[in-house]
Amino acid sequence: MQYPLEGVKVLDFSRVVAGPFAGRLLADLGADVVKVEPPDGDGTRFHGKKVRGISGMFNQQNAGKRNICLNLRAPDAAELAIELAAVADIVLENYRPGVMRKLGIDYATLSARNAKLIMCSISGFGHDSPESHRPSYAPVVHAEVGLMHRMAERNGTPPGDLPLSVADTNASLHGLIAVLAALNMRHQTGVGQHIDMSMMDATFATDDRAHFEMENVPDTLPVCPIVDLPFGPVFLATDMKLMFKKLSRHYALVDPTPEGADLETKIALRVEAIENRLKQCETEAQFAELMDTIDIPWGQVRDPHHLDEQVTLKHRGMIKQVDDRVGGTRPVADSPYRFSGAKSGVRGPAAHRGEHNRGVLKEWLGAADRQIDAWIESSVLIPEPVEGLD
């Protein structure tokens, strides 16, 4: 089986997570994704475990991509970028609005040379917003779109950030959908287009609870309990009232409420009875059998250090081992896509800055070594660090 996007060329100018994640998924789907990295490196190169100069976070977002290091501020760098975009199908970028124009490689310039080009620009607040000038990272959007406030209210804690970059990945995923839609439309029209993807828009559109606040009504979805059991804490996707009914019906759980008790006492005693019954399950297997019988969704509150023990992730091979470039391997999350007639998946580790300068320029542009050497001498191209170390 072949990859769905074999033959598609992607020029990825994006950095950190919003953008690189979309490029990573395009690479997993078979596209030839070339990351264009600045001389000072992507910010994610400094986060996570480093193996031969490549950090875990950079590896996660850029696995399977090739890499060229281009100094976009050097004379003649814009022309080289334009030449690469002229043979590309897709360009990804997440500079602040206006930066690509200042660099001389905005959509108007690139599409003048390649009318079929699809360009996706990801930014915090969009290109036509009164706030488009604002710098943005995921936590900024989490604050502005109400996620921090809601989490604080729900947990009864001071506002704080989420433990993952939701705004970044939402923008990347919605950007990916838009890119694939534009690619399909190009088959019909023969021309590409520009996609303006805002992290604010993408996160707000994906917020399934925003309607409660917008219409000023209480969030009626239940606050589900977490119960400490002998084998660890467990999240129960139900309310205790339904849990009590099901345990009473299937396991003859006795109602401990004395006659004439008020509602508060009744609830407290029934919750205690439920927890005492659940704590009789000394192992996860015993608890799983109980939950299967009464048909209650649940999840072990798992320490992420032990995700390699999670049954589904393990069975579906979601944790892949890729070459660590020093004779071993390192873990990385695999592609989530499962096709009946195509393949997908991470195709290798992330690259060093400039590792594929020659290979990409020869394959995409037919450039000769003499021309590549000239770009290096003029500081347009920055060669791979000595021994591949950052």
Q: Annotated catalytic sites, by residue? A: 168
Q: Residue 68 phi/psi, 5° resolution?
A: -125, 145
Q: Do 45 and 77 touch, CB atoms closer than 8 A?
A: no
Q: Residue 70 phi/psi, 5° resolution?
A: -120, 125
Distance, in Å, from the CA atom of 305 to the CA atom of 315, rounded to the nearest integer, reads 18
Secondary structure of the chain in HEC code, one letter for each residue: CCCCCCCCEEEECCCCCCCHHHHHHHHHCCCEEEEEECCCCCHHHHCCCEECCEEHHHHHHHCCCEEEEECCCCCCHHHHHHHHHHCCCEEEECCCCCHHHHHCCCHHHHHHHCCCCEEEEEECCCCCCCCCCCCCCHHHHHHHCCHHHHHHHHHCCCCCCCCCCHHHHHHHHHHHHHHHHHHHHHHHHCCCCEEEEEHHHHHHHCCCCHHHHHCCCCCCCCCCCEEEECCEEEEECCCHHHHHHHHHHHHCCCCCCCCCCCHHHHHHHHHHHHHHHHCCCCCHHHHHHHHHHHCCCEEECCCHHHHHHCHHHHHCCCEEEEECCCCCEEEEECCCCCCCCCCCCCCCCCCCCCCCHHHHHHHHHCCCHHHHHHHHHCCCECCCCHHHCC
Q: How far is CA 50 from CA 22, 221, 315, in A?
A: 23, 42, 28
